[in-house]
Structure 1
């Protein structure tokens, strides 16, 4: 292929995918993601077997993993903690470095430590140094590139004053100066440009540790880097189809093999020069299907077709999915990347930060008395009154509230069940918030005493109301309570989207800086200091030599549907799920396996904005997104995250479901409309 011949100008993204189409494009690179989140652990043997299979393949290969998310709440950003313990990162990085050494493949990691802060990038470098210096390891020289994403508060205030900061979505309140002042470190989700800048300057890198990044960014960057390295095609010459394919591949792969069925951890993608890509799980027990891959476009996103990110939007309106002959791989094409410049919009990056709002102490216990359970709401009002009386002389502000598990402890006011329902037993969690841990514990202690000894009408058991002492504790001090305070988009000037090299101790730069005042920065760190001797790739054992493409398709797991006498939504939909879409939104997905049933539901009035509003105690105009998505035979709705009827971000005081992964429950028992029941009966009869 001649320099620059990567171009696919004029390709119609709606053209059906087939083997002949892809055969005209060369393989650009291969990417393996051993697990969707570094620190969660992975099966090294699966990745090793995949690399053995590829050892004779000249196509460039990389190990790329994400390490970050806002799913776990704001505490990481506010307090400097990490998603997983340091020991978990040490374990996973040691495996990755062994694989990198044995097969001479680079490692790229984004959003170090969970939040991607500069401090956690440096902590990852410390871990790598410890592994590389271990006398039992023969690493040779190991070159690391560190990319930093912290943003100075002065920079944010400057952009805020210029009107260049806005909320990321309709549920995010406007940013103010107090939010910036109260915030801990502020990070910006970098696009692919900082990774590309570092790769271009140091193409012989062994590992990249990136700060906070848009999840697909390292995947896009590695593909674009190979396009330039092998085919001399610069980033600006890549077409919307190519960048769209790179971005869509990254969107899927950053979750590992979550797009497979049954879902698994490790996945591999083969990316072609036109942006088409193939994806396959490494686990022999899992497969990818067109529906399972298409459904992943919906996962934890506000909408499935238009996915905004740094510098533009990924448009999946024309995306298509084809099952390959091995019955395990799926070929994807048709994604487009619409650049901000093309859309006449500024390049934006998402800022993230959190603040500490006080200290929490918990009390926990069970209540089994049906007399008390029957009046639990009024009883807890009296508990709060007693606690307030005991702290009448306290001038500091404090708060107290309860989770009533067994009734509405998970969903609160958005619980769609019968409000008069009373369970046989409840588990009560009291949560006290105060400016100091001492005061929070005092408030919690008073609340516990009132729960144990408070009177109530009809009381029979006078020795105590509260089965407590779980874990041997009466009050459990939780430390700082954090809350997201920045989740906003900041507009950049041309050139700010890249990364500049950090000067070394001699005052020289790692590489020539490009552009004007880049927002991000990077540096080189080398470990080992000895010649890196790449060993011959180890031979696999007999079990490892079987090609993944020769593995028979595993049996399809049962879906437990009831299509004979369906009455509820769970009888006809094999997947009904919910998930965060950032800290301020909850998104609901309903996936169907049968095209006829999907079409029937789509044409009915079963799933509508009115239905979602009724189920979740919302007004229709509060619903952020509500529509069907044909590629995945699915329905999607996105709603604001609320607590006590007020819009609140995830992870703060009185949080009950930080992932948002249990909010789908109200959809399970949604009664089917008569036209849907009749339609399904006709479908089954015609079969």
Structure 2
């Protein structure tokens, strides 16, 4: 997997520059321009492509509007990206506009492009908006036709879900984006509604291929597999690099291979870091599902090139569901309003109270119920208890956040107000501090109204009729429209003047440069100290270089355990401590909630995916009582997994042999 490639590379089909994993997170324009200058000089097709959307942060954007980052963050990024696209005359593709990819957010991003184009005029240019909102009647008709199925661990779709949804978006595949590119070869920017993460990358590569009129010289299974795989990596920017972050560039070749290189000069890609990225946020690492089928990565290969920072990938294949099942499916997403929330927060420090928290909070809830006995509408009150632990020891301090959900903001705020009174003054066995039980006053607020509470209600696959997956001005689902933005420059040097219109970066003195260099060096060696011996009571966390958890859509949590040494990876794999039954026992969940469990040799990794649970019930991300919407802090049971004696001895032998060799 790590062998050096001595082969002469196949001709390039196209190049893609992805400056960051999410529009609005910040762009290093010098790195972007350097990459564009290099690629456009070859005369080969080049594009700036970024993703802008995700359900990771919960259902709020779909139900309440708004965008992933503040509007000003989009303005700052687009000022740079539009100037670079104009300067080098390359198309700019932005997908899942504003985060949710609704028509409203798509139009808002177009407005921002128009604003920055007027602020830094380089001439008028064409922008295409491709929309993804779906009419409720379409969803209702397909539900009645019996062609809607839950995606992931979502419950079956109901008419009430459709009725209560605020807006429904469809996660489009590459087809409508490809159609839009073909219909608008003169456009400078494409603002795309909700799309599968890899769709815009796949569409651009297929567009470049079709322009060459090569037919099936590269078969459709390799093309779609390769183009989708590269998109799956690029859409997260430099997360496939070490250290992670920043941008990444890709060259796709006519033999079905592609190369990935990080943009940051201090970063590198390795075969393992690139292969490992297919684990990230996905239910399983070898089969990645999307509109119209899935990519099969079971035979994917990763090789490090001579520059020691670029990885070439090949062996990706696509499986079309039109051929295997006779259907084409897309995912529908929507959220509803579940009520209004309010909260209060503070801390308990009395060890006597902390030792009987459950009983004390039951007293608090009883008081709140008594005070709202006349209320007929349903309401809820629960608590986030932070710091209590489960080891039997009484901590010095416990943070408490009370959260209420009710049909109106007034009622939700009233509930937490009464709860806070009781939390401060309710009696408990062994009470000595009669002046109050609760340290509070953070931020100067007594209670905190939180506004509407959103909840995912549609996360389902729907079968399309022939041709509905396509795009066009009058397409049945994915239609586009074009607008002209910008104005003619007032100066004489046009694009160059606009590209340099950005304020110069402040000078960095030598001392600061040294500190920045030291920080970058530290980032490279973070967690890189070699393991030489085990502790007396070793855990899986000592062996693994990465143990992480992350949401895989709103209804699943996926866990990855990765190892830097092949010998230790094989020892863990052969020990059988990681399997469906073991994970279910470790997390205290029924085995039916374990959706996938398996090893992925290309990344020296184990992956397990479970349903997202709260109090033993399957729930979507976000919404009432959410405390880890990304799911990034759920890996601790794996980190603390004790090693059995046999594995402990085997690993110690490996470490002893390593020391002798050194």
TM-score by length of 1: 0.89
> SS of the counterpart of 2:413?
helix
The answer (yes or no) to whether the contact 2:117–2:487 under 8 Å persists in 1 is: no
Rounded Cα–Cα distance in structure 1 between residues aligned with 2:6 and 2:184: 36
Deviation at 1:427, TM superposition (A): 0.6
The answer to whether the aligner puts 1:256 opposite 2:225 as a matched pair is no
Q: Indicate conservation of the 8 Å contact 1:322/1:331, yes or no.
A: yes
Which structure's residues are more often helix, by fraction?
A: 2
8 Å CA contact 1:260–1:293 kept in 2: the answer is yes
Change (3 A) 1:367 1:536: closer
Gaps of 5+ in 2: 509-519
Aligned partners of 1:561 and 1:571 also within 8 Å: no
C-alpha displacement of 1:242: 1.8
CA separation in 2, counterparts of 1:235 and 1:361?
59
Which ranges in structure 1 are unaligned for 5 or more consecutive residues?
1-13, 409-416, 503-516, 544-550
Identify the residue that residue 89 of structure 2 maps to in structure 1: 104
Q: Secondary structure of the equivalent of 1:342?
A: helix
1:78 touches 1:355 (CA, 8 Å); kept in 2? yes
Equivalent residues of 1:372, 1:456 under 8 A apart? yes
Equivalent-residue separation in structure 2 for 1:63 and 1:556 (angstroms): 31
Partner Cα separation in structure 2 for residue 236 and residue 153 of structure 1: 42
- Structure 1's 458 and 176: CA in aligned 2 closer, same or farther, altered over 3 A? same
Task: After TM superposition, give the deviation of residue 342 of structure 1 in Å.
Answer: 2.4
Deviation by residue 1:357-401 (Cα, 9 ceiling, x = unmatched): 100001000111111111111111111111111100111111000
* Contact 2:346–2:442 (Cα < 8 Å) also in 1: yes
**Among candidates 259, 269, 276, match of residue 257 of structure 2:** 276
1:56 shift after superposition: 2.0
Q: Is the 8 A contact 1:110 1:211 kept in 2?
A: yes
Q: Does 1:564 align with 2:533?
A: yes
Structure 1 equivalent of residue 482 of structure 2: 524
Closer, same or farther in 2 for the Cα pair 1:640/1:236, shift >3 Å? farther
- 1:321-345: CA deviations, max 9, x gaps? 0001101110001110111122224
2-side partners of 1:254 and 1:235: how far apart? Answer: 27
| Alpha-carbon distance in structure 1 between the residues aligned to 2:240 and 2:408 | 45
Give, in angstroms, the shift of residue 444 of structure 1.
Answer: 0.5
Q: Distance in 2 between matches of 1:611 and 1:211?
A: 41
Quote the residue 1:467 is aligned against: 439
Q: 1:49 to 1:616 in 2, by over 3 A?
A: same
Q: 1:177 aligns with which of 153, 159, 163?
A: 159
Q: Is the 8 A contact 2:118 2:487 kept in 1?
A: no
SS at match of 1:449: helix
> Does structure 1 residue 208 correspond to structure 2 residue 208?
no
- CA change 1:553–1:29 in 2 (3 A) is farther
User: What CA distance in whole angstroms lies between the structure 2 residues aligned with 1:677 and 1:285?
Assistant: 36
Pair 1:536–1:18, CA change in 2 (3 A): farther
- Residue pair 2:83, 2:499 contacting (<8 A) in 1 also: no
Counterpart in 2 of 1:578?
Answer: 549
Question: Does the 8 Å CA contact 1:78/1:183 hold for their aligned counterparts?
Answer: yes
Residues 145-189 of structure 1 deviation map (CA, whole Å, 9 limit, x = unaligned): 1000000000000000001100002x2100000000000110000
TM-score, normalised with respect to structure 2: 0.92
Query: 1:41 and 1:166 mapped to 2: Cα distance?
Result: 38
1:227 maps onto 2:209 in alignment = yes
What are the residue-to-residue correspondences of 1:575-614 with 2, within 5 Å? 575-614=546-585
* Mapped contact 1:17–1:333 kept (Cα < 8 A): no
Count of aligned positions: 637
Rounded to whole Å, the distance in 1 between the matches of 2:562 and 2:72 is 38
* Equivalent pair of 2:243/2:524 in contact (CA under 8 Å): no
Deviation for aligned residue 1:673: 1.1
Kept after mapping to 2: 8 A contact 1:224/1:235: no
Which residue pairs with 1:645 in the alignment? 616
Question: SS of 1:185's equivalent?
Answer: strand
Matching of residues 491-502 of structure 1 within 5 Å: 491-502=463-474
Q: What secondary structure sits across from 2:626 in the alignment?
A: coil
* Contact 2:122–2:498 (Cα < 8 Å) also in 1: no
Residue 669 (1) aligns with residue 640 (2): yes
Query: Is it true that 1:336 corresponds to 2:308 in the alignment?
Result: no
The Cα of 1:274 is off from its aligned counterpart by 2.4
**Any conservation in 1 of the 2:346–2:439 contact (CA below 8 Å)?**
yes
Number of the residue aligned with 2:354: 373
Distance 1:237 1:50, change over 3 A: closer
| Structure 1 range deviating more: 565-574 or 42-51 | 42-51
Following the alignment from structure 1 to structure 2, what is the Cα–Cα distance between the partners of residues 238 and 407? 58
Match of residue 58 from structure 1: 43
